[in-house]
Every structure is written in structure tokens, then in C-alpha cells.
Amino acid sequence: MIATYLKKNWWKYALGVLFLIAVDLLQLIPPRLTGRLVDLLKSSEADENTLLIFILGVLAAAGGMMLSRFWWRFFIIGTAHRFSHYARLTLFEKLLSLTQDFYDRTLTGDLMARFTNDINAVRMMLGPAVVMATDAVVLTVITVAAMGGFVSWRLTVLASIPLPFLALISLTFGKMIHHRFRKVQEGFSEITHGAEESVSGIRVIKTFAVEDKMEERYSEVSLNYFKAQMSLIKVWGLFFPLIGMIGTSASLIALIIGGRMVIYDQITLGEFVTFNQYLGMLVWPMMAVGWVLNIIQRSRASYKRLMEILETKPSIQEPKNPVNVTIKGNIEVKNLDFAYPNTKRPVLKNINMKIEAGSFVGIAGKTGSGKSTIVKLLLKLYPVERGRIFFEGVDINDISSEHLRKYVTYVPQEAFLFSTTVKENIAFPVDKIEENEVKLYAQVAAVHDDIVELPQGYRTVVGERGVTLSGGQKQRITLARGLVKRSPVIILDDSLSAVDAQTEEAIINHLRESVAESTLIVVSHRLKVLSRADIIYVFDDGEIVEAGRHTELIERDGLYRRMYELQMLEERFEEDAGTD
Ligand SMILES: Nc1ncnc2c1ncn2[C@@H]1O[C@H](COP(=O)(O)OP(=O)(O)O)[C@@H](O)[C@H]1O
Ligand SMILES: [Mg+2]
């Protein structure tokens, strides 16, 4: 990824480095001029005009430096930030292309860290590290050359003896500082998270009367943060004095030996002044060596983590010659066995289903029996063998995911709303939609009445940053969103579990009439909802144990009937409890 980026942008770095070198060279001028001036002043050869000329010289150098500094920052740091932008987009595009099994095994927090910390670490290498490395090399070479060439090589060598320690100290301290800084960041996110959770969970805390326990826990988190800060302060506190001390010891050598050289007329007073200023300029590039090594080490690890994602192959291969079949809803499943890619444990065993276009299919079974798995496979969320699932007689492996999902709508049990208005949430799958159409689907999903009671009706912002909706309201809005697609196959995967039984039944019956031409596949744990289905498949431990109409299944003495009787019993209990 870096290589592709540099291929296009190397010239920006070249320009930036040129400006950086210009700054370094210009930096040499003022000390040299000051030294010359001191000598002229001392020998009384200078008048006010000479002074003016020198001042103009220093000003010109300063002006040149100002401009060059602007441009190297613009080119080097700017190009590095552009890389972050490029990396974020590349990563995001990749994430959109990855398949379900990748998300099954990846933690959201880990992904977020790659988007933020890791991209940032790589940017540090492409920006600040380039500057520091250039400075470290160029500034060191030319300053040392100027010190030796303009003043004295012997003095240069002797006064430089302590300087390599600067690199060593910045290297070791850089590591410590980074490590402790991480701890501070972690501590910070813990205190914000802790406070946020307590505030949002305050009702639970109050009802359980656990204020003391929460206070104790929070005080521990806060104390940890404080300790992390203190340990960082200590390292910083040591770092700067150490650097200062090494700088001072170099100056001391220069003072003692250089002073003697002035006394014995080996160098002039002006050269002595120049030398000391140059020596001060060497402190930064020496420290830079240490920082650069640290940055490179860290960003290499980050870069590896980024590439890991970029090199992940989606487990579903799109067909080379996709068949663009018009899907009406004739679906067939033949002897299908299935295990999730990351577990290998068989979850579906010998599944056979025959679904006709326009029919109403029910799927029933206990939790964990494989109901969601089979419908996810119909959506091609996980890879399936050839010869197992067919749409209109075409193997699912020959249909591209994009094409398939144009025709098949899936409404999951976990409703998810984006942080935007209700209207936009419902209209999400399509580019353009009329207001009254949105309302129409909201009515089919029996959520229109709820929506108009919200503070701003359809313009109310919901989701994480908006008003809080009940689980059932969220599910019904999610259902309306699915209906907007008007696809020939609609799959509801227990999508109304948080809605009460009567409403669910009413919604499904109404739905059946309003999208009569669509194939409707409904997974529900409430069997009454399925009573009008053309066929119900009963799943048990990954197998279809029964299939038939509701009335047929009730007559048989099987799993379906037992589940149904249990539900009737529960319903009666609830009614009794209600009349008390
Ligand atoms: N992403 C997954 N990776 C591995 N195993 C899974 C995954 N999703 C579900 N399972 C397992 O597959 C089985 C069937 O699950 P599922 O189809 O969700 O059941 P149901 O929808 O009937 O409750 C369960 O044992 C479950 O633990
Ligand atoms: Mg399920």
C-alpha cells in the first residue's frame, strides 16, 4: 500500500526534502555572520554600515528559512496526512468487500484501533520520521563540516564526544514515553467509558442499590489514570534534564578547550562564538536519531496489522461468469450440509426444501436449531458447495452476491438503525422514494402510528444519537426498510420477536396481502404467526424433522404439535395473570 502511494507522490517528498535541506543550509548562515561581526567589532573595523549589512544578511537568511519551513511542512507532513486519507479509504473499501465470517471472528474494537492508531503510526513514519531522518543526516553532516571547516576539526571532535549519548537517551526514553503514554490513553478511555456506563446504567445501579460498589470501582479506575499520568510525568521529568546535561557537557568542553584556543590565538573570538552556536544546533539532530528509530519500529508493526486486513481474502468467490437470472422466488435446497467456516461443527444436516414463487413459507424450531443459518445461506452470506442451493434452477454459486441481494431482502432479528431520521432509515435501500410511499410501508409494518407520535414525526433522529425507541419499534422500522426494496423474496428472521404476539400476527397477515406476489419466508418462534403458511419446515438440531401446513402438523404427534401446545398453555397463563 505504501509503495503504490509513494509511486504517485514521491516528487512531493523530493520537493519537501529539498526545502528541508535549504532550511538546514540557511541555518548555518546566522552563526557564521555573528562570528564574523564579533571579530570585526573587536578589531574596530566595523562601522554602523557594516552592522546594517550583517543585519540584512541575517534577516535574509531568516526570511528564506521561514518560506522553506512552510513548504517542507506543506509537502512532507501534508503528503503524509493525505496518505492517512488514502489508507482509510482503502481499508474501508476492503471492509465493505469482506464476508460475514471475517466479522464473526474480528472484534469491532480491534478494527477501530486499526483505523485510528495503526494508520496514525504509519503516518508518523511517512511524515515526522522523514523530516527527522533528513535533519539527522543533513544537519549533522553540514553542521559538523561547518564547525570543522570554519573553526577547528580538533575542537569539533572533542566537543562532539558527549553527543551520541543524546541519540541513545532519546531512543530508550522514547520507548518508555510511548509505553506510558499508551497507558495514559487507555486509562483515559476507561474513565470516560466508566462514567458513561454508570450514567446510562444509573437506573440499574439505583434499583440494585449498589452505589457504593460503583463508587469504589470508579475510584479505582480514576486512580489508575492518575498513576499512569504520574509515571509519564516522571519520565518526561527525567528526559529533558538529561538532554540538557549532555548538551551542557558538550558546551563545557567547547568552553574550556575553545577558550584556551582563543587565548593562544589558534582561533578568533568570532570563530569561538560561531562554534558554540553550531554546537547547540547539533542537539536536535542527535535526538532525532533516537526518535526516528522508535517511530520506524512502531509503524512497521502497525503497517503489518493494516496489511493483514488488506490481504484477507473474502471467503465467497464471486462467479467469473455470473448468470443474471431474474429471480421470482423459486428456490430449491438439495441435500445441504453446512458448517461455519471457523468452527467445522455441522450446523445443518441434509436439508431439502422446495419453495415456489409467491408462496408463504414458515420456518419453526427451537433456538439454535439452524433457522437463521439456513436463511443466511439463501442470502449467500457464507460459502456453500455447488449443487446445493438453486434460484430458478441456477446454482447460487453462479449468481453474484450483488445480483442476488437485489432480489432477496433479509430482515434480521437484531434491528439496527442508523443515527439519522426515521424517514432516511426507512428509505435507506433506495435512492429516491416518495414521502407517501415511506408512510405506506410504515403502515404495513404497523409502525406509522408510533412514528407520528414521535417529537418530529418522520423527521425524528433515531439510533445511537437520537431518541430512544423500544425494541419492537426498532424492529418494525427495520421491517419497513426491508419492504421498501419491494423484492420478490422477503425473509423475516424472527424480525418481530420484540413485538407482542397479536401485533406480530396482524403484521404478517397484512404483509401477506400487501406483497402477495412476493415469496415470503418467515422464521418465527410464535407458531400462530405461521398458521397461514403454505408450508412450514420444522428444524431440530440442524435437521428438518417435519414439514407441512399448520393444520397437518398439529394433527401429527410431533415436535411442532408439542411446541404449539406449550405456547397455547403459556398464552393462557398470561391471560389469567392479566385478569387478576
Ligand atoms: N457465525 C457463527 N459461527 C459459528 N457458529 C454459529 C454462528 N452462528 C450460529 N452458529 C451456531 O449454529 C447453530 C445454529 O444457529 P442459528 O442458525 O443461529 O439458530 P437459530 O436461528 O435456529 O436459533 C448454533 O449452534 C449456533 O451456535
Ligand atoms: Mg436465529
Give the residues surrounding ligand 1 with Cβ less than 6 Å away.
Answer: 104, 340, 343, 347, 365, 367-373
Q: Which fold has domain 1-152?
A: ABC transporter transmembrane region fold (1.20.1560)
Share of residues in the chain with pLDDT > 90 (%): 78
Q: What is the pLDDT, as a whole number, of residue 548?
A: 96
pLDDT over 90 at 461, yes or no: yes
Kindly give, in sequence order, each residue whose CB lies less than 8 Å from that of residue 549, ignoring residues fewer than 6 positions away.
533, 534, 535, 536
- Residue 412 Cα to ligand 1 midpoint, Å, equals 14
Which protein residue has the closest C-alpha to ligand 1 atom 1? 104
Residue 366 CA: which ligand 1 atom is closest? 22
Distance CA 375, CA 338 (A): 12
How would residue 243 be classed by pLDDT, with cut points 50, 70 and 90?
A: very high
Backbone angles phi, psi at 461, to 5 degrees: -80, 130
Q: What is the pLDDT, as a whole number, of residue 24?
A: 93
Which protein residue has the closest C-alpha to ligand 1 atom 19? 368
Which protein residue has the closest C-alpha to ligand 1 atom 26? 368
Distance CA 427, CA 18 (A): 53
| Ligand 1, pocket-test mutation among 99, 101, 345, 347, most atoms within 8 A of CB | 347
- CB neighbours of residue 24 within 10 Å: 22
Q: Report DSSP letters for 149-168, one per residue.
A: III-HHHHHHHHTTTHHHHH
- Residue 494 Cα to ligand 2 midpoint, Å, equals 7
How would residue 127 be classed by pLDDT, with cut points 50, 70 and 90?
A: very high
The CA-atom distances, in angstroms, between 447 and each of 497, 500, 502, 509 are: 15, 13, 14, 15
pLDDT over 90 at 274, yes or no: yes
Q: What is the pLDDT, as a whole number, of residue 579?
A: 52
Helix pair 78-97, 2-27: axis angle to 10 deg? 170
pLDDT over 60 at 128, yes or no: yes
Weakest-pLDDT range from 192-201, 361-370, 379-388, 389-398: 192-201
Distance CA 577, CA 580 (A): 5
Average pLDDT over residues 456-484: 91
Q: What is the pLDDT, as a whole number, of residue 315?
A: 85
Residue 477 C-alpha cell reads as 422500522
Residue 546 C-alpha cell reads as 417435519
pLDDT over 60 at 580, yes or no: no
* Spatial CA neighbour of 523 closest among 402, 379, 321: 379
- Residue 508 Cα to ligand 2 midpoint, Å, equals 18
3-state DSSP assignment of residue 409: strand
**pLDDT tens readout for residues 99-116:** 888 998 888 878 888 888
Q: What is the pLDDT, as a whole number, of residue 109?
A: 79
Q: What is the pLDDT, as a whole number, of residue 47?
A: 85
Which protein residue has the closest C-alpha to ligand 1 atom 5? 340
Ligand located closest to 347 CA? 1
H-helix segments, 282-399: 283-310, 371-378
How would residue 468 be classed by pLDDT, with cut points 50, 70 and 90?
A: confident
pLDDT over 90 at 21, yes or no: yes
**pLDDT tens readout for residues 33-84:** 999 999 998 888 888 888 899 999 999 999 999 999 999 999 999 999 999 9
Distance CA 580, CA 574 (A): 10
Residue 371 CA: which ligand 1 atom is closest? 22
The CA-atom distances, in angstroms, between 477 and each of 117, 290, 570 are: 36, 56, 28
Ligand located closest to 376 CA? 1
Considering the chain, what is the average pLDDT of its residues?
92
Residue 343 CA: which ligand 1 atom is closest? 4
> Is there a shared CATH topology between the 1-152 domain and the 331-579 domain?
no
Q: Report DSSP letters for 425-487, one per residue.
A: HHHTTSS---HHHHHHHHHHTT-HHHHHTSTTGGG-B-STTS----HHHHHHHHHHHHHHT--
Average pLDDT over residues 156-173: 93
Residue 523 CA: which ligand 1 atom is closest? 21
Q: Report DSSP letters for 540-557, one per residue.
A: ETTEEEEEE-HHHHHHTT
Q: What is the pLDDT, as a whole number, of residue 578?
A: 58
- Residue 563 Cα to ligand 1 midpoint, Å, equals 20
- Residue 494 Cα to ligand 1 midpoint, Å, equals 14
| Ligand 1, pocket-test mutation among 104, 105, 338, 340, most atoms within 8 A of CB | 340
Residue 376 CA: which ligand 1 atom is closest? 17
Q: What is the pLDDT, as a whole number, of residue 195?
A: 85
Domain boundaries 331-579, CATH class: alpha beta
Which protein residue has the closest C-alpha to ligand 1 atom 3? 340
**DSSP designation for 498:** T
**pLDDT tens readout for residues 538-570:** 999 999 999 999 999 999 999 999 999 999 998
**pLDDT tens readout for residues 281-332:** 999 999 999 999 999 988 999 999 999 999 998 888 899 999 999 999 999 9
Residue 9 C-alpha cell reads as 507522490
- Specify the amino acid at residue 454: L
Q: What is the pLDDT, as a whole number, of residue 367?
A: 93
Q: What does the domain layout of the chain look like in residue ranges? A: 1-152, 153-266, 331-579
* Spatial CA neighbour of 164 closest among 239, 237, 243, 238: 243
Order of strands, sheet of 489-493, starting from the edge strand that comes earlier in the sequence: 408-411, 489-493, 519-523, 360-365, 535-540, 543-548
Distance CA 170, CA 236 (A): 11
Distance CA 230, CA 38 (A): 47
3-state DSSP assignment of residue 45: coil
- Residue 365 Cα to ligand 2 midpoint, Å, equals 10
Distance CA 61, CA 24 (A): 11
**pLDDT tens readout for residues 408-450:** 999 999 999 999 999 999 999 998 899 899 999 999 999 999 9
Residue 493 C-alpha cell reads as 428472521
Residue 489 C-alpha cell reads as 423474496
- Residue 371 Cα to ligand 2 midpoint, Å, equals 6
